[in-house]
A and B are shown apart, each in its own frame.
Chain A
Amino acid sequence: MLGHKRFSCNHPSSTFFPLSRLFYRYRDLAPQLVPLDYTGQPDVRLPYELIGSMPELKDNPFRQRIAEVFSEDGEGNMTLDDFLDMFSVLSEMAPRDLKAYYAFKIYDFNNDDFLCKSDLEKTLNKLTRNELTEEEVRMVCDKVIDEADLDNDGRLSLEDFQHMIVRAPDFLSTFHIRI
């Protein structure tokens, strides 16, 4: 109890919603690893398997990428700060530009700050569970690059992606996890 109070004093304005609920969700994933008292800033990292088995994430085809993007070590093992960050960005209150930035990072499988063709192909295959033929996949990826690539380098940079995604009517409502 005390731990969470002290904890919330240190994090007054870094997320978009009350923190205690999230802290308890984090702790519930592995009660024996996560202490109640966070004043000593313990270095506790929950492995990806626990994060990926959360009910909000377990059916999401991109859960691995989400965990990797928000985790400090890039492997999907999250500290409490990473956990808070993740749900803060994915909450309803986060601004559109912030979400677009993180969405870009999630879909960038090879972490090269560009959405190249292979990234798009991987995204599409995850979305359709490999049900489309190779020809169809290639066609869709070409079409996407055609539509969104403004600086014509054959891949989508962050600006291209943001320019395209902020106009999407469904982006805010689908890129959202309620917890």
Chain B
Amino acid sequence: ERGRGKRERKRGRKRGRGKRERKRGRKRGRGKRERKRGRKRGRGKRERKRGKCCRLPSPSPCCFSSEQESPDEQEENELEKLKEAVDDRKKLISTLRGKPLPMTRKLQTLRESQEFVEKYEGAIGKGKGRKLYAYKVMMLKKWMKFQRDFENFKTACIPWEMKIKEIESHFGSSVASYFLFLRWMYGINMILFGLTFGLVMVPEALMGMPYGSMPRKTVPRAEEANAMDFAVLWDFGGYAQYSVLFYGYYNSQRTIGWLKFRMPLSYFLVGVGTVAYSYMVVIRTMARNANEDGGGDNNCFNFSWKMFTSWDYLIGNPETADNKFASITTSFKEAILEEQESRKDDNIHLTRFLRVLANFLVLCCLAGSGYLIYFVVRRSQKFALEGLESHTWWERNEVNMVMSLLGMFCPMLFDVISTLENYHPRIALQWQLGRIFALFLGNLYTFIIALMDEINLKREEEEMVKLNMTIWEAGLYNETVGVNSTTPPIAIHPADIPRGPCWETMVGQEFVRLIVSDTMTTYIMLLIGDFLRAVLVRFLNYCWCWDLEAGFPSYSEFDVSGNVLGLIFNQGMIWMGAFYAPCLPALNVLRLHVSMYLQCWAVMCCNVPQERVFKASGSNNFYMAMLLVILFLSTLPAIYTIVSIPPSFDCGPFSGKSRMFDVIQETLESDFPAWFGKVFSYASNPGLVLPFLLLMVLAIYYLQSTSKSYKQANLELKKKLQTVSHDNHVSAIILCAIPALT
């Protein structure tokens, strides 16, 4: 038994797996961090809890038999050794999984180690603190079992695993990566939904003043007639507008209900919290992906990687396998060609000119689409002033339709223009993604600028309404009270009281409408572009002159990058509008849920695997980076409006304050003890804040330069490896040449 243990260790040392693997793991942090990342199973945590000893001394039970006669000190030493041995065995048990041994040997070692641990664990407890030790051990075991069961349960709870597996086996890992991304977004949105629903919508619905008790919570008399119409509700007006779904419904009472729930504070903090949580999640995922990348060694091992990592083991479908074989062959042939002939562009001036022309055309497209949106938004403002009823459906929904259609057709235009450029497909894809990104961004910001115009208009209106209201109130008072000033004020139904305009609700409504129309457009394009096309190709093929399946329309391929971009921009709009319409995360959860099922079905039913099965490797972090940029850009407008525009005086949880963030000040003054307020005011003193900011900037600079120096050291070592191998090569040649010379 002992013999096998030693031989195993020796063999382990020869392959250097035991120590070197752990050391290497620690250097790259792969071992520990990967175990930490065992987010699905979490066995990593259990492993980390175990002991840290590395060596495994051979157990020698004979020395323990004489325990009763040896003096106390010796007994202590032996107990220590025994404890170490037991800890080592435990460590072996936990790392056994990662060892490249055949299963039978692993099981044998496992059984031996477990027997040893069980036998001697009780013996350790002899002497002082035995009961405590035994109790600790038992609790630890129970805790580990609980953790393991919990991890298994968590794995079983992961949704859509089998669906994604099926798609993966048919279409390869790049299409599946879109669905994995969708599922990840769904998770984030669930958390955002939990926050807004649980901390904002539910308290107001349960504990706030009910519908109809205040002007801001009631549909105005003029709109009451058609407040329940489907068309109005679909547009998020009428009863939908005067509900917990939008900002305007909330009351600015400091505490509500018997719980004394601080509604305005909660609203503000949830708004800030959703942004903070999103940043944290995105950056954490980016950091994780960056670790996996392992240093960006892009060109050294081109052919080796092609040979050993191009076959996707997930493929479980003969058609996909055929495509994969074909694409691997093509990729090898291309690489060989590039290697063989020098890249000689025989007409470099023509290529350059064409590329400049293509970029110019793209810029024109972008400018044109930006102007179109601006024009359409101005027109819709004009329509709104004239009254919406006098216009057709198209004119009422012009803005949203135009934005969605532009998002649908411009990328195709860019695709056509990019044929002028003649780039390598991977570079062409990056240019394409960059252009679509610029298009969406431009559209979004034009939309926001137009919205800002509307906000300013509403604020001017507000001034006028304030004036009118005082006149109206004075008039009301005069005609009913007369001389006696002690009569109670007459009861006027809240629906009749004139109320101020609410620009925040308007903004929320615009975003909700945009998202709904975007969703509808996507689904309709999916049904028409993919499903209808597939049906036509399939059934018209029997009576058509040329082969529809192989020739012109054929079945569509799944556009991974287009869909991922759509998802990212959709999320950006959610982040932008969530502060003004707490219902947005709920809407998005619903939308993602439906999308998942619809797209899974559409992919399996109407799409064929891509011919060119190449993936923008490292595209994972590319999409994350875009998400981060979008997150930053979409929180900017919301932050700007919070900080600079005073809230409406007649609606929302911040009505009556001069700025929305005054609610923090108010809370500090009234809910916290006096000394806390003092400490906070000291802390927010510019004299303290500026040095702190400076310190953080210095820390960032320091970390940046350290990481740069590490990268440099890495490169140096790599070069050294190459020169060493080159030297070996040279000396090998010389050694071979010497006998020839003599």
Say whether A112 faces chain B, with CB atoms less than 8 Å apart: no
User: When chains A and B are docked, how far (Å) is the Cα of A164 from the Cα of B725?
Assistant: 15
CB distance from A72 to the nearest CB of B (A): 7
Query: Does A174 contact B310, Cβ atoms closer than 8 Å?
Result: yes
Query: Does A102 contact B100, Cβ atoms closer than 8 Å?
Result: yes
CB distance from A9 to the nearest CB of B (A): 11
Say whether A67 faces chain B, with CB atoms less than 8 Å apart: no
Query: Does A175 contact B41, Cβ atoms closer than 8 Å?
Result: no
Query: Does A167 contact B295, Cβ atoms closer than 8 Å?
Result: yes
Query: Does B31 contact A95, Cβ atoms closer than 8 Å?
Result: yes
B305 interface neighbour in A59, A94, A124, A170, Cβ under 8 Å: A170
CB distance from B325 to the nearest CB of A (A): 5
- List residues of B (723-742) whose CB comes within 8 Å of A's CBs: 725, 728-729, 732
A72 interface neighbour in B24, B102, B311, Cβ under 8 Å: B102
Q: What residues of chain A lie closer than 8 Å to B487, measured between beta carbons?
A: none
User: When chains A and B are docked, how far (Å) is the Cα of A152 from the Cα of B320?
Assistant: 38
User: When chains A and B are docked, how far (Å) is the Cα of A95 from the Cα of B292?
Assistant: 12
Nearest residue, chain B, Cβ from A162: B24
Say whether B173 faces chain A, with CB atoms less than 8 Å apart: yes
Say whether B318 faces chain A, with CB atoms less than 8 Å apart: yes
Query: Does A167 contact B312, Cβ atoms closer than 8 Å?
Result: no
Say whether B409 faces chain A, with CB atoms less than 8 Å apart: no
User: When chains A and B are docked, how far (Å) is the Cα of A82 from the Cα of B30?
Assistant: 26
Say whether B38 faces chain A, with CB atoms less than 8 Å apart: yes
Map CB proximity to A onto B300-314 as digits: 1 under 8 Å, 0 otherwise: 111111011111111
- List residues of B (304-346) whose CB comes within 8 Å of A's CBs: 304-305, 307-318, 320-321, 325, 328-329, 332-333, 336, 339-340
User: When chains A and B are docked, how far (Å) is the Cα of A61 from the Cα of B321?
Assistant: 9
Query: Does B311 contact A174, Cβ atoms closer than 8 Å?
Result: yes
**Contacts A60-B311, A95-B98, A151-B725 known; A81 to B31 CB distance under 8 Å?**
no
Say whether B226 faces chain A, with CB atoms less than 8 Å apart: no
Q: What residues of chain B lie closer than 8 Å to A165, measured between beta carbons?
A: 304, 308-309
CB distance from A88 to the nearest CB of B (A): 8
A17 interface neighbour in B107, B155, B725, Cβ under 8 Å: B155
- List residues of A (155-179) whose CB comes within 8 Å of B's CBs: 158, 164-178
Query: Does B303 contact A147, Cβ atoms closer than 8 Å?
Result: yes
Say whether A34 faces chain B, with CB atoms less than 8 Å apart: no
Say whether A51 faces chain B, with CB atoms less than 8 Å apart: no
Q: What residues of chain B lie closer than 8 Å to A11, measured between beta carbons?
A: 107
Q: What residues of chain A lie closer than 8 Å to B732, measured between beta carbons?
A: 152
Map CB proximity to B onto A2-20 as digits: 1 under 8 Å, 0 otherwise: 0000000011011111100
Query: Does B332 contact A132, Cβ atoms closer than 8 Å?
Result: yes
Query: Does B315 contact A60, Cβ atoms closer than 8 Å?
Result: yes
Name the segment of B89-97, B361-369, B575-583, B602-610 touching the other chain: B89-97
CB distance from A73 to the nearest CB of B (A): 11
Say whether B721 faces chain A, with CB atoms less than 8 Å apart: yes
- List residues of A (82-109) whose CB comes within 8 Å of B's CBs: 82, 84-85, 88, 90, 92-98, 101-103, 107
Say whether B25 faces chain A, with CB atoms less than 8 Å apart: yes
CB distance from A155 to the nearest CB of B (A): 13
User: When chains A and B are docked, how far (Å) is the Cα of A10 from the Cα of B108?
Assistant: 11
User: Interface on chain B toward A: helix, strand, loop, or mixed SS?
Assistant: helix
Query: Does B293 contact A169, Cβ atoms closer than 8 Å?
Result: yes
User: When chains A and B are docked, how far (Å) is the Cα of A158 from the Cα of B43?
Assistant: 28
B interface residue count range (under 10 / 10 to 19 / 20 to 34 / 35 or more): 35 or more
A interface residue count range (under 10 / 10 to 19 / 20 to 34 / 35 or more): 35 or more
Nearest residue, chain A, Cβ from B156: A18
User: When chains A and B are docked, how far (Å) is the Cα of A170 from the Cα of B35?
Assistant: 19
Map CB proximity to A onto B27-49 as digits: 1 under 8 Å, 0 otherwise: 00011001100101101000000
Q: What residues of chain B lie closer than 8 Å to A14, measured between beta carbons?
A: 96-97, 103, 106-107, 110
Nearest residue, chain A, Cβ from B103: A81
Query: Does B97 contact A16, Cβ atoms closer than 8 Å?
Result: yes
Say whether B618 faces chain A, with CB atoms less than 8 Å apart: yes
Query: Does B728 contact A177, Cβ atoms closer than 8 Å?
Result: no
CB distance from A108 to the nearest CB of B (A): 12
Say whether B706 faces chain A, with CB atoms less than 8 Å apart: no
Q: What residues of chain B lie closer than 8 Å to A151, measured between beta carbons?
A: 725, 728
- List residues of A (45-99) whose CB comes within 8 Å of B's CBs: 55-56, 58-62, 72, 81-82, 84-85, 88, 90, 92-98
Nearest residue, chain A, Cβ from B38: A93
B308 interface neighbour in A61, A103, A128, A143, Cβ under 8 Å: A103
User: When chains A and B are docked, how far (Å) is the Cα of A93 from the Cα of B96?
Assistant: 14
User: When chains A and B are docked, how far (Å) is the Cα of A164 from the Cα of B299?
Assistant: 12
Q: What residues of chain A lie closer than 8 Å to B100, measured between beta carbons?
A: 98, 101-102
Nearest residue, chain B, Cβ from A131: B329
Query: Does B168 contact A178, Cβ atoms closer than 8 Å?
Result: yes
Q: What residues of chain A lie closer than 8 Å to B312, measured between beta carbons?
A: 174
Nearest residue, chain B, Cβ from A104: B308
B300 interface neighbour in A147, A173, A177, A178, Cβ under 8 Å: A147
User: When chains A and B are docked, how far (Å) is the Cα of A13 from the Cα of B732?
Assistant: 48
User: When chains A and B are docked, how far (Å) is the Cα of A144 from the Cα of B303?
Assistant: 6
Nearest residue, chain A, Cβ from B47: A13
B294 interface neighbour in A56, A143, A167, Cβ under 8 Å: A167
Say whether A30 faces chain B, with CB atoms less than 8 Å apart: no
Say whether B152 faces chain A, with CB atoms less than 8 Å apart: yes
User: When chains A and B are docked, how far (Å) is the Cα of A84 from the Cα of B173?
Assistant: 24
Q: What residues of chain A lie closer than 8 Å to B40, measured between beta carbons?
A: 92-93
Can you list 9 contacts pairing A with B, beta carbon distance less than 8 Å? A14-B110, A95-B25, A97-B17, A152-B732, A164-B304, A169-B618, A170-B310, A174-B309, A175-B309
